[in-house]
Amino acid sequence: MLTIGMLGGMSWESSAHYYRLANELVRDRLGGLHSARCVLLSVDFADVEELQRTGDWASAGRLLAAAARQVEAAGAGFLLLCTNTMHKVADEVQPAIGIPLLHLADATADAVIAAGLETVGLLGTAFTMEQDFYRDRLTARGLKVLTPDVDDRRDVHRIIYDELVLGVVREESRARYRSVIASLVASGAQGIILGCTEIELLVGEADSPVPVFPTTRLHVEAAVARALS
């Protein structure tokens, strides 16, 4: 079994979900007392969030590249960035290490294409919904990506940063996300990408009239398949 390298803490709430899922999936695959071989380095999200907010992506890339080297040095066979938003600096992280980076958007695109869908709605932080780094990775695979309107994007982003990264789950926020999902479906979305790892703490299949694609689970499923191959 290869050792899964996890670079998390963005936020630790979702990184805990990564760790639990990896161990559950290995147990389900191998049975008995089996669990995942993994190393997890968790950064201080306050440092990362400040760099996001100020647009200092170059410093963010250097910070995560240095952390990724630590994960590699700990024996990881490949790396997961346990965050959608910070895949903005994936192209800075990969050259800094000698192990593969398993890109979250690729695992997501694989699942959408396997489901036979062509048009998806994307929920995530404002950075993920509004910038090209994530959407372009999906459209390069032939997918059409829809994003919410400006008011909906603002609320989706606010709920992530003001609530979910702090472990706060509110029913009114779930209702708001359901409304955003309904609007995307009305615009033609055949599926919904939960493109922020914390969103899975709030909504799932029961909250959408079309299939949802939980990026954390998809990322970990791809990682476990690689580790056990």
Residue 125 to residues 38, 64, 79, 204, 206, Cα–Cα distance (Å)? 27, 19, 22, 17, 22
Residue 104 to residues 54, 110, 205, Cα–Cα distance (Å)? 24, 10, 20
Is 196 marked active-site? yes
Q: Cα 57 to the chain's mean position, in Å?
A: 18
Catalytic residue among 147, 196, 197, 216: 196
| Start-to-end CA span in the chain (Å) | 8
Rounded to whole angstroms, the Cα distance separating 162 from 172 reads 14
Catalytic residue among 38, 82, 83, 147: 83
Is 83 marked active-site? yes
Rounded to whole angstroms, the Cα distance separating 40 from 149 reads 36
Catalytic residue ranges: 83, 196
